[in-house]
Amino acid sequence: MNPSTALCVGLLFVSPLLLAQTPPDKLGDVKAQGGQQLSLDELRALLPGAKVFSFTRAGSTRSWSNDPDGTFVASSDSRGKMQRPSRGHGTWHIGDNATYCVTIEWSSTTEQWCRYLFRLGDRYYGTKSAVDLSSEAHALEISR
């Protein structure tokens, strides 16, 4: 086998390995790595009582536990910001369109979003769109 053929064959085997090790940052990446969208029934089984860790692009980790009454208290290490760790009161619900919706009242701002959830291995990714492959994918760890 000549060197350029060997290189091409090698890239065919290495490329999927590299892709699998790169955390996805777009919905297209999540889907390309085998991520599956959670249904309304799967969200209803997973989210009540779940412990959630949310990771921001700035490097901050936020966490909360979804209380059955739709409330929670969130904490953030505020990494990537020039602030001290903080806490906020929040609410959560599952939208009729199979989205996970969260509102958090931090001391200086209100955070509000709804995301479609995709499972990829032991991680979840939230996206604003379930079809726009360029939609940002935000990493979440969800456990019960």
The mean per-residue pLDDT over the stretch 17-27 comes to 69
Residues 6+ positions from 71 with CB-CB distance below 8 Å = 89, 90, 91, 92
Tens digit of each residue's pLDDT (9 = 90 or more) over 76-117: 998 766 567 799 999 999 999 999 999 999 988 999 999 999
Nearest to 53 by CA among 74, 83, 27: 74
Q: CA 135, 129, 103, 38: dihedral to nearest 10 degrees?
A: -110
Q: How far apart are CA 49 and CA 63, in angstroms?
A: 13
Tally of residues, the chain: 144
What's the pLDDT band for 4 if we cut at 50, 70, 90?
Answer: very low
The mean per-residue pLDDT over the stretch 3-7 comes to 45
Per residue in 59-89, is it b (16+ CB within 10 Å) or e — as a string?
A: ebbbebebeeeeebebebebeeeeeeebebe
Tens digit of each residue's pLDDT (9 = 90 or more) over 35-62: 999 999 999 999 999 999 998 888 889 9
Compute the mean pLDDT over every residue in the chain, rounded to the nearest whole number. 87
